[in-house]
Structure 1
Amino acid sequence: MRATEREQFILEEAVRFFAEHGFEGQTRELAKRIGITHSAIYRHFPSKEALIERVYEHVYLSRWDEAWAGLITDRSLPLEGRLTEFYLQYVNRVFHYDWVRIFVFSGLKAFDITPRYLDIVRQQIIEPACLELRHELGLPGADETPLTERETELFWGLHGRIFYLAIRRFVYSTPTPESLDDIVRDGVKSFMLGGPEVAKTIVQAKA
């Protein structure tokens, strides 16, 4: 193997290894599993932390679509349609064994993969969606009435409802529908039937 190929091979095997064993798994065991010397890993990744950082880039950043932020703020579509399309794409992109399990293990071990990723979700999806809902309801913008924690929690609730399907499938190993498209549509529609009224109450009380 050329050096770049070996590095990619180690990275992909590390993704599978951490997804199965969590970050308690030792790089020595990883080396044994893939049939290389322990020192060979450190020729490409200077530390376990450096390897985990590459896993984050490979598994999370590479699957995040920068177009999603624009989709959420595209006012040529109703907000329900935007949210539905985002979550249909999101489920297709991230509902995978490695992605979900590494995400959970990271949170349990206090690695910063989980908070860093959720910060991207907050900045590019949750907070813009709150403002788009205000606009759709004719409510004041953030310059007049700052976003409240209660508003963002409404959208985290929708996000968590959909992501919980992945937890059930890849962490709890319990049955989930094979196709999630209708489940996503139902989830967004349910949110839009009640969420706007709650948001209106929150913003008007704040204003």
Structure 2
Amino acid sequence: MRAADRERVIVDEAIRFFAEHGFEGQTRELAKRMGIAHSVIYRHFPSKEALIERVYQEVYLSRWSQDWGPLIRDRSQPLQARLTDFYLDYVARVFEYNWVRIFVFSGMKSFGITGRYLDLVRREIIEPAALELRHELKLPDAGSCPLGSREVEMFWGLHGRIFYLAIRKFIYETPVPSDLEETVRDAIQLFLDGARPMLPRVLQQHRLDTAS
């Protein structure tokens, strides 16, 4: 087998292995499972951490769409439509056994995958969406009033609500709605119904707090 092909096989099997056993799973066990010598893994990856970094690239960055950030900022359509398009695509891409389980295991073992990925979500989705809601409601922009933690947390709440469906399915192994599209649309509608009247009050309090 060519070196590139062998490396591809190791990565694919490592993704499945870590999804099943978490990052406490040892590379020696991974090699045994593959029927290869332990040293073969280290010919391609100098350390377990290097293999985990490759898993991050394969599982997370390869599924991140470069269209998501521009979609959230696209003011040619209402914010509700943008959020709906984003979350329907997000669910289609990331609601997958390996993705969800590796994400959770990473958070528990502090390998950094979870934190790095959530930082990407915050920069590209959460904070821009918070600013877009301000714009839609004709509220002050970030130049005159920086984003506050409460409005950012409002959008994390929406994100967490939708992602929890994947936690239920792949971690707790409990039933989830068969029609995820309908569930996503309901979540966004309920979120905006509450956020639109609430945000002006949150922003007013935020401005008072920062002025004092």
C-alpha distance in structure 1 between counterparts of 2:186 and 2:179, whole Å: 13
User: Would you say how many aligned residue pairs link Structure 1 and Structure 2?
Assistant: 207
Equivalent in the alignment of 1:92:
92
> Secondary structure of the residue that 2:22 maps to in structure 1?
helix
Which residue identity does 1:67 align to in structure 2? D
Which residue identity does 1:160 align to in structure 2? G
C-alpha distance in structure 2 between counterparts of 1:123 and 1:196, whole Å: 22
Equivalent in the alignment of 2:152:
152
Give the deviation of 1:130 after TM superposition.
Answer: 0.4
The question of 1:197 aligning with 2:197 is answered yes
Give the deviation of 1:197 after TM superposition.
Answer: 1.6
Which residue identity does 2:155 align to in structure 1? F
Equivalent in the alignment of 2:44:
44
C-alpha distance in structure 2 between counterparts of 1:179 and 1:3, whole Å: 43
C-alpha distance in structure 1 between counterparts of 2:67 and 2:49, whole Å: 30
Give the deviation of 1:204 after TM superposition.
Answer: 1.9
> Secondary structure of the residue that 2:53 maps to in structure 1?
helix
C-alpha distance in structure 1 between counterparts of 2:165 and 2:7, whole Å: 33
The question of 1:79 aligning with 2:79 is answered yes
Give the deviation of 1:198 after TM superposition.
Answer: 1.6
Which residue identity does 2:7 align to in structure 1? E
C-alpha distance in structure 2 between counterparts of 1:205 and 1:127, whole Å: 19
Equivalent in the alignment of 1:165:
165
Q: Which runs of 5+ in 1 are unaligned?
A: none
Equivalent in the alignment of 1:105:
105
Equivalent in the alignment of 2:179:
179
Which residue identity does 2:29 align to in structure 1? E
Q: Which runs of 5+ in 2 are unaligned?
A: 208-212
C-alpha distance in structure 2 between counterparts of 1:18 and 1:196, whole Å: 41
The question of 1:141 aligning with 2:141 is answered yes
Give the deviation of 1:88 after TM superposition.
Answer: 0.1
Give the deviation of 1:199 after TM superposition.
Answer: 1.4
1:133-188 deviation line (CA, Å, top 9, x unaligned)? 00000000001001000000000000000000000000000001233100000000
Give the deviation of 1:64 after TM superposition.
Answer: 0.2
Percent identity of equivalent pairs: 66
The question of 1:30 aligning with 2:30 is answered yes
C-alpha distance in structure 1 between counterparts of 2:50 and 2:107, whole Å: 18
Taking structure 1 as the reference length, the TM-score comes to: 0.99
C-alpha distance in structure 2 between counterparts of 1:174 and 1:13, whole Å: 26
Equivalent in the alignment of 2:210:
none
C-alpha distance in structure 2 between counterparts of 1:44 and 1:180, whole Å: 40
CA RMSD of aligned residues (A): 0.6
C-alpha distance in structure 2 between counterparts of 1:168 and 1:206, whole Å: 35
Equivalent in the alignment of 1:13:
13
Which residue identity does 1:96 align to in structure 2? E
> Secondary structure of the residue that 2:36 maps to in structure 1?
coil
Taking structure 2 as the reference length, the TM-score comes to: 0.96
C-alpha distance in structure 2 between counterparts of 1:194 and 1:35, whole Å: 55
